[in-house]
Structure 1
Amino acid sequence: MKLKMTVLGNQAVFVTLPSETLSQLKTKADEIRKHLFENYDPICEFPGGNGLLKEWLSANNRIPEGYKGHERVVVLFKVQP
């Protein structure tokens, strides 16, 4: 592998790689990245999907008189098996 390094002061180092070597490194990085963030947990979802969740929230949202139009909703979810 041929490597060309250029040092500019103490702020930057530039490395020039042959295109074949760069391609190999990118391929290896892609393979590593595929397995890096694998999630083995199932995705939790409201029974019936987001549409029914929105309907349920609308039907069960209780806003006291005097606060209509000024509401702010903070929700905390704890999902357990």
Structure 2
Amino acid sequence: LAKRYWEGSVTNTPIAITRLNSNQYEVRYNTLRGLYYKIQSASDLGQSFTDDPPAVSQPFDALSIARTNTFAEPRKFHRAIGSLTP
């Protein structure tokens, strides 16, 4: 774990997207204690990613975080960002 902090790969957070029903989907990602996390999305990979609400969260003992979203666009790309500061 210390090596991952040192080289920066600790913030490479894979996400899983699950369709819950015809109107909602869940974005789930693993976390590390002490890091701040936010989900960002874009409707096209060529566009800038923007923060999804809530802006930043800091899970204290959670190993996995899930957020439920609604289908507002035909497609959406997500990424989870972890950092040492909010």
User: TM class by shorter-chain length?
Assistant: under 0.3
Q: Which structure's residues are more often helix, by fraction? A: 1
Instruction: Report the TM-score when normalising by structure 2.
Output: 0.20
Identify the structure with bigger relative contact order (alpha carbons < 8 Å, sequence gap 6+): 2
Question: Rg bigger for which structure?
Answer: 1
Q: Which structure's residues are more often strand, by fraction? A: 2
